[in-house]
Amino acid sequence: MRRTEKRMILGITGGVGTGKSTVLAYLKQQYGAFLIQLDDVARQLQQPQEACYGPMLELFGITTEHSDSSRESAGSGIRSAHDTLSCERSMLLNEDGTFNRSAVAKLVFADDDLRGALNRIVHPAVKQRVRELIDSHEDAALIVIEAALLLEDHYEEICDEIWFVYAEESVRRERLKKSRGYTDGKISEMLASQRSDESYQAGCSLTIDNSSENIENTYRQLDEALGERGFWKAASSHSNV
């Protein structure tokens, strides 16, 4: 999918605490961008009756009253509820049959093989849903796709450009303490597990520096970059969106 006149598929990526949500809010409010956040797409696809639900039940070896309708998509390899892991893994489901996302995250991040298998279920399904969303919003001049893993998941296949939202480490640390109450140790662990700034910059066509306390500096960079590409604020008489 390539850009046509007055239409752009823009990827926004960056590490935790860089302020991607601030950028997204501005693009939506000022440019009328249609936003696609991959975490939200993945969450939806993991709901009962959605594409990833049955395969995930099979992966985790869960058989429940909620899984009957998903057996066809999950296949015949669901292990017995008496499996030695069934008790622990049954805690991955909430009472309504939806996945407990924090419990799933805790389990898969302790097991590289399991995490890889889950990614092979979720990531292709997310990318397919993103393509469907883009196709169903043909009138949107600016579509923005956001995720920390756009480069790893090769969203250059879909996006016209991918921009990196950068913030100095000290700023990211302060934001994460304030907004999420994270400790220094947890923040250090998270930052160490993520792609380096240099790697982001090498893989992206533009870097937006969101380090300043004056948010207008970030907005100015966005306005300049989009203006160079023929996009103007929705309130402008020159608006293309």
Res 189 pLDDT > 70:
yes
Its pTM surpasses 0.75: yes
Q: What pLDDT score was predicted for residue 149?
A: 94
Q: What pLDDT score was predicted for residue 239?
A: 40
DSSP string, 37-102: EHHHHHHHHTSTTSTTHHHHHHHHT---TTSGGGHHHH-S-PPPTTSTTHHHHHTTB-TTS-B-HH
How much is the average pLDDT of 11-31? Answer: 97
b/e per residue 104-136 (b: at least 16 CB within 10 A): beebbeeeeeeeebbeebbbebbbebbeeebee
User: What values do phi and psi take at 235, rounded to 5?
Assistant: -80, -10
Instruction: Find out whether 35 and 22 touch, Cβ atoms under 8 Å.
Output: no
pLDDT tens across 129-139, in order?
Answer: 999 999 999 99
More confident residue, 125 or 69: 125
- 3-state SS assignment for residue 209: strand
Angle of helix 215-228 versus helix 20-31 axis, rounded to 10: 60
pLDDT tens across 99-138, in order?
Answer: 999 999 989 988 999 999 999 999 999 999 999 999 999 9
b/e per residue 151-182 (b: at least 16 CB within 10 A): bebebeebbbbbbbbbbeeebbbebbeeeeeb
Residue 31, Cβ density class (10 Å: 0-12 exposed, 13-18 middle, ≥19 buried): buried
Res 187 pLDDT > 50:
yes
Q: What pLDDT score was predicted for residue 109?
A: 86
Tell me the domains of the chain and their CATH numbers: 8-33+140-228 (3.40.50.300), 43-123 (no CATH)
Q: What pLDDT score was predicted for residue 91?
A: 86
What is the biggest distance separating any 2 CA atoms in the chain, rounded to whole angstroms?
Answer: 66
